[in-house]
Amino acid sequence: MRILIVEDEPTLGKQLKSTLEQNGYAVDLSTDGEDGHFLGSTEEYDAVILDLGLPEIDGLTVLGMWRKEGRKFPVLVLTARDSWSDKVAGLDAGADDYLAKPFQTEELIARLRALIRRASGNTSSELTAGPVRLDTRSGRVTLDGEPVKLTAQEYKLLSYLMHHKGKVVSRTELIEHIYDQDFDRDSNTIEVFVTRIRKKLGADVITTIRGLGYSLDDPDEQPRAN
Amino acid sequence: MRILIVEDEPTLGKQLKSTLEQNGYAVDLSTDGEDGHFLGSTEEYDAVILDLGLPEIDGLTVLGMWRKEGRKFPVLVLTARDSWSDKVAGLDAGADDYLAKPFQTEELIARLRALIRRASGNTSSELTAGPVRLDTRSGRVTLDGEPVKLTAQEYKLLSYLMHHKGKVVSRTELIEHIYDQDFDRDSNTIEVFVTRIRKKLGADVITTIRGLGYSLDDPDEQPRAN
DNA sequence: TCCTCGACGATCAGGATGCGCATGGAGGGG
DNA sequence: CCCCTCCATGCGCATCCTGATCGTCGAGGA
């Protein structure tokens, strides 16, 4: 899952970035509204953390522009404490959730998880597909109840697929959501990790759709094979 | 485990802080409601001890604000008198337990322990993971029944992991819950203590998940990895 | 229907990177 | 005075990426 943080205060921004990265997200950080808006418009994010108190362009304006452009990613707005007007205006502008500064990083992470989960249409923090179960809260994966050890990248890849269960996900889409800005897009790393995951979870977990990408199906919901 | 004490009387506050620290908690002390509220909103606490008779802002108000902001840590309220009205109001405001002044520090610690235990979803004061057993009441750790001597920090670290058994805990999360406010976050102390604990309890007690953090698994519940 | 060929995906092994581990020593507190 | 805590350094290894090779699928023609 890839996150954009738009936060003008460098210290807080960097701290957030590193915390989120430790939690398995790919994170881009922008420190002003204009740059932030550009990133949000051009790159693919699964969620955006947006500070309202930005220099130059206001956070609300940025949010409004995104929504007008049709960007649909969930936005978590950081507002100064007690500003009800901000809250209302933010809702109108299309924010999905709020957090008043100051806040606890754990809560931020929890809300972020919830946002991403909701955005992908899931209701529980546990995602399942056949014998595979992924708990987004504890960050663990089990196969038939047995815990499976995944590396960071393997987890990111599997997590994205499970959040989009049944959908065909192209390789570029995966790259855009698993890695942050600076990454060489011409490589076969995705294939490599797909192979790895198949080795650990079974070959039939991830289906290849030639020329299009990959898809993770739930055999319980789709009894017949292909 | 990290505790916040909000207590206006300096003597009592300091005494509590030192007592709790001797019992293996990381403690922040605040002497007025405003500061206390701020700390509780920004930092990560596993429990809060809140005196109701505060100057400026009342303890109940502070508690109410926290709950309205969505802070979920358990709160142990200290009330000066045997006043029922305080108790009722406190319950409404979201307190989890009570203690009437004057009280025995022993009792305070016992209740605190119970609060933290409940908050982490454990039912017993004894936490076990494989051959390792940790008694939160006596603060003792045994390996295959044999008592093991842990230093204060080693105990704190192990305790936090055991309270969150099975969850992947990032290094920042550990730092936030084991140390109090003023601590340099860029250091490798966590690794050092993990190493120490492994030496004393066996290398397989704590699992490393590269790039994400550590996790303490219970082999009884999860027979084997890979 | 079968064969051929092209294109795409899977797999493997080698190597760079950086994370986490170990260790020793300085500093501080009991 | 001793032990605990913390910081710094160097090292080893898991992890990740790369590039090459092998395998597979499917279209089109005979």
- How far apart (Å, rounded) are the C-alpha atoms in residues B138 and B128? 14
Residue A82: exposed, middle, or buried by beta-carbon count in 10 A (0-12, 13-18, 19+)? exposed
On strand D, nucleotides with any atom < 7 Å from a protein CB are 3-9, 14-20, 25-26
User: Closest Cα partner for B3 from B31, B32, B43?
Assistant: B43
Say yes or no for a CB contact (<8 Å) between A102 and B69. no
Give me the residue label for tokens 């038939």: A144
A152 and B226 within 8 Å at the Cβ level: the answer is no
Of B69, B172, B217, the CB nearest to A22: B172
pLDDT for residue A160 is more than 90: yes
Identify the weakest region by mean pLDDT among A86-95, A150-159, A201-210.
A86-95
The mean pLDDT of A99-123, rounded to a whole number, is 85
Check whether B195 has a pLDDT greater than 90.
yes
B218 near A CB under 8 A: no
Distance from CA of B6 to the nearest CA of A (A): 18
- State pLDDT tens for residues A7-23: 988 888 888 888 898 88
> Which residues in chain B (61-90) have CB-CB distances under 8 A to chain A?
69-71
pLDDT band at A224; cut points 50, 70, 90: very low
Residue partners of A29: CB distance under 8 A and separation at least 6: A4, A5, A7, A13, A14, A16, A17
CB nearest to B212's CB, from A24, A104, A137: A24
The maximal CA–CA distance of chain A, rounded, in angstroms, is 56
SS3 of A66-100: the string is HHHHCCCCCEEEEEECCCHHHHHHHHHHCCCEEEE
pLDDT in tens, A52-102: 877 778 888 899 899 989 898 999 988 875 666 666 666 677 788 888 887
Residue of B89, B97, B143, B88 lying closest to B116 (CA atoms):
B97
| Amino acid type, A218 | D
**Residue A209: nearest nucleotide (C-alpha to C1'):** C9
Q: What is the CA B177 to C1' D12 distance in angstroms?
A: 30
Residues in chain A with CB shorter than 8 Å from the CB of B177 are none
Please indicate if any CB of chain B lies within 8 Å of the CB of A208.
no
Task: State the pLDDT confidence band at B222, using cuts at 50, 70 and 90.
Answer: very low
Cβ A100–B211 below 8 Å, yes or no? no
When CB atoms are compared, the residue of A19, A105, A147 closest to B222 is A147
Answer yes or no: is pLDDT of B36 > 50. Answer: yes
Q: Which nucleotides of C are covered by protein (CB under 7 A)?
A: 8-13, 19-24
**A11, A14, A22, A83: best mutation site toward chain B, by most B Cβ within 10 Å?**
A22
- How far apart are the CA of A212 and the nearest CA of chain B, in angstroms? 31
Distance of alpha carbon B224 from alpha carbon B226, whole angstroms = 7
Write the CA distances from A50 to A35, A61, A75, B38, B47, integer angstroms.
12, 11, 7, 22, 30
* Residue A30 β-bridge partners: A6
pLDDT at position B226 is 35
Among all chains, which residue has been given the structure tokens 């506050």? B13
Q: How confident is the model at residue B224 (pLDDT cuts 50, 70, 90)?
A: very low
Q: Is the pLDDT of residue A161 over 50?
A: yes
The answer to whether the CB of B203 falls within 8 A of the CB of B217 is no
A99 vs A36: CA distance, rounded Å: 19
Mean pLDDT, range A170-191, rounded to an integer: 85
From the CA of A213 to the C1' of D27: give the distance in Å.
20
Task: Note whether B2-119 and B126-216 share their fold.
Answer: no
Across B91-110, average pLDDT:
83
User: Protein A193 CA to nucleic acid D9 C1', in Å?
Assistant: 34
* Average pLDDT over every residue of A102-130: 86
Residue located via tokens 């009205």: B85
Is residue A27 pLDDT above 80, yes or no?
A: yes
- If you average pLDDT over residues A30-52, what whole number do you get? 91
Q: CA geometry: angle at A184 spanning A179 and A186, to 5°?
A: 110
Q: How high is the pLDDT of residue B223?
A: 41
Q: What is the DSSP letter of A167?
A: S
Q: What is the pLDDT of residue A26?
A: 92
Specify the fold of B2-119: Rossmann fold (3.40.50)
Share of chain B above pLDDT 70, in %: 90
Q: Read off the pLDDT of each residue in A191-196 and give the average, rounded to a whole number.
A: 93
Cβ-based contacts under 8 A for chains A and B: 62
Q: Tell me: pLDDT of B165 over 70.
A: yes
C-alpha to C-alpha distance for A190 and A175, rounded to whole angstroms: 7
Q: What pLDDT, on a 0 to 100 scale, did the predictor assign at position A18?
A: 87
Domain ranges across chain A: 2-119, 126-216
A104·B41 Cβ contact <8 A: yes
CB half-sphere exposure, B124, CA atoms < 13 A: 7
Closest to B168 (Cβ–Cβ): which among A105, A138, A148? A138
Across A193-205, average pLDDT: 91
Domain covering B126-216 assigned CATH 1.10.10.10 in the classification: yes
Structure confidence at residue A199 (pLDDT): 93
Residue B122 is given by DSSP the state -
| Contacts with A138 from chain B: Cβ below 8 Å | 166-168
Residue B144 has pLDDT above 50, yes or no: yes
Distances (CA, A) of B122 to B76, B77, B127, B170, B207: 18, 22, 8, 21, 21
For the record, the structure tokens of B116 come out as: 């933290």
Q: Distance in angstroms, CA of A187 to C1' of C14?
A: 16
Of A22, A106, A107, the CB nearest to B213: A22
